[in-house]
A and B are shown apart, each in its own frame.
Chain A
């Protein structure tokens, strides 16, 4: 039996809530690609920032539910319609997440710091005029400001604060967001990175990048163990070559 994810027919919809689309599918595909690792990771707390229709957090809950040791899930969205729809989508699938209507993780940042083992984010990444960012309705789901980076650049430090020592972040980017630069900034904060899914549609090139804190004794997102010491650098060379090729393709 294939692993269960959210079923589109059970995902609730609302005129002011972003419906699952190519980007949502890419993010869930990344979680499915990492399914075994996620289960072995044995997270205590998982979180989605910007849960929209609830498609992604419901899928993550279903992926991790198969095991006896179910984690606790949080989901946030700035759009009150979205948090209500997320609750309905979760209930339609018989799973639970604690939902908070808030800007990114405001209100949770103090007490939840260092506790999140898995975080997933499909941010508003579409380049738009700056004044379109942060509206309360549907536009909050996609309006990303200059280079689509306005909200992404606010989320990354919050994620850094919330992630536990073993925390993983799965985040979706558009080529226009300059994911290579994002990876370099995250490396400066001590993170390793890896492309889990990359996909080109007619309109856009999407990649889901996984970040994890790098310590001397832990490399490559829990795939440590037999990995020789030079591996982190090799990993970086690889991601650089992947992302530079993508940027190059976009430019042509």
Chain B
């Protein structure tokens, strides 16, 4: 699971109001190289919750992203785009869990696949 996916997932339990971002529990992180695509990154920049990405990448062992939301002018910087690229697409949570910030419910991540299926009493 890439951090882009983490950035798009929220707790889907019935009644949860603030289900984002899910807290990450890390068991195993893998890095996989992805072709660098600046246009994709520029498209995604405005859609990403920056703080969630910066915090998540730190938990995954990559602390190079600025904590504060960068100004859009950083998109001209190749150095910034490379870091953004690495955090968003190349860090994978292979084993671990995503935890609902409101209820503490754990959604397991196995073989890089988060399981967001709910129990009957959570729907």
User: With an 8 A cutoff between CB atoms, is A112 at the interface?
Assistant: yes
User: With an 8 A cutoff between CB atoms, is A102 at the interface?
Assistant: yes
Of the stretches A68-76, A118-126, A219-227, the one at the interface is: A68-76
- Find out whether the CB atom of A98 lies under 8 angstroms from the CB atom of B40: no
Given known contacts A69-B40, A70-B35, A72-B40, A102 and B8 CB-to-CB distance under 8 angstroms: no
27 contacts between A and B (CB under 8 A): A44-B44, A68-B37, A69-B39, A70-B37, A71-B40, A72-B40, A72-B44, A74-B5, A74-B8, A78-B117, A80-B115, A80-B117, A96-B32, A98-B2, A98-B4, A99-B112, A100-B113, A101-B115, A101-B116, A103-B116, A106-B12, A107-B9, A107-B114, A109-B12, A110-B10, A110-B19, A111-B20
- Find out whether the CB atom of B113 lies under 8 angstroms from the CB atom of A99: yes
Which residues of A (129-186) have their CB < 8 Å from a CB of B?
none
Size category of the binding interface on chain A: 20 to 34
A84 to B113, CA, bound (A): 8
Please give the distance in Å from B94's CB to the nearest CB on chain A. Answer: 11
Residues of B with C-beta under 8 A to A102: 12, 115-117
Q: How many residues of B contact A (CB 8 A)?
A: 31
- Find out whether the CB atom of B118 lies under 8 angstroms from the CB atom of A108: no
Q: Interface digits, B98-123 against A, CB 8 Å rule (1 contact, 0 not)? A: 00000000010001111111100000
- Find out whether the CB atom of B11 lies under 8 angstroms from the CB atom of A107: yes
Please give the distance in Å from B98's CB to the nearest CB on chain A. Answer: 9
